[in-house]
Amino acid sequence: MRPILLAALLALAGIGRLAASEEIVRLPSQGDAILPYLLSYEPAREVKVAAILFNGGDGKVGLLTRGIPAPGANFLVRTRGLFVDNGVATAVIDVPSDVGGMPDGFRIGRRHVEDVASVLNDLNTRFPGVRVFFVGTSRGTVSAAYAGAALSPRLAGVVLTSSVFNASRGGGQGLAGFDFRSIRVPLLLVHHVEDTCQVTPYHPAQALSQTYPLVSVKGGKEPKSGPCDPYSPHGYFGKEAETVRAITDWMLGLPHAASIE
């Protein structure tokens, strides 16, 4: 995306300020590879909970090559400042330095779980006693769900936004066939009613709401991107603040909105 267009879209999004403290943390991964993640928090405020954020697409944030995104396009990357404003420390996980991206096969694999566990360990060290959640959006829900199932005993909960319920033509299985009961901690679903991305339809989230809490989002700003891209209902364009507030309220055990219009 061209820099001028990106800047214009970010202005349209109305995203709040970024966190007062942001740093790129480099952790060891498989072999000599480096696993980078972006840590954001407000040092002057109490960190109430922490969240590992899994972005969509191929998972690349570009922390080692482009540095800290300001603020970024993906729903979770660009709203990390809103999470921090609500007392949440965030860790945006990037791809390891020896891989070009995270297709579904990688996201459901053992190595990815080990990498996520490494970030979880680091957060536990930095913020002792603070509960940690996994939050995924779009293709990132594959990471959050599978890693959430594997690491449930160490988590406070999992949040899945714009979940990839359908397999894609390119071979990605998404969450088709995933057993949500394997996530043995509280699970929150967030989905835009008007999400028209083919692999992230709303109706499976509505069906799952018989078992799990669901935040249904409606409305927002006129789309400025394709249906599977972030500046559309798929990325809660124009409804970012309300959506993040519902997520963080749920994390904090506060009453949260079940419907956003």
pLDDT, residue 18, reads 56
In angstroms, the Cα distances linking 132 to 98, 119, 180, 248 are: 27, 11, 19, 12
The domains of the chain, with CATH numbers, are 3-260 (3.40.50.1820)
The three-point CA angle 248-251-257 to 5° equals 60
Alpha-carbon torsion, ordered 103, 137, 96, 6, to 10 deg: 100
- Going by their DSSP bridges, the two strands 49-54 and 88-93 should be labelled as parallel
How many angstroms separate the CA atoms of 161 and 109, rounded? 21
pLDDT, residue 125, reads 98
Residue range 107-117: mean pLDDT, rounded? 98
Enumerate the β-bridge partners of residue 53.
92, 135
User: CB neighbours (10 Å) of residue 166?
Assistant: 17
Q: At 216, list the tokens.
A: 């249904």
pLDDT (tens digit per residue) in 193-238: 999 999 999 999 999 999 999 999 999 999 999 999 999 999 999 9
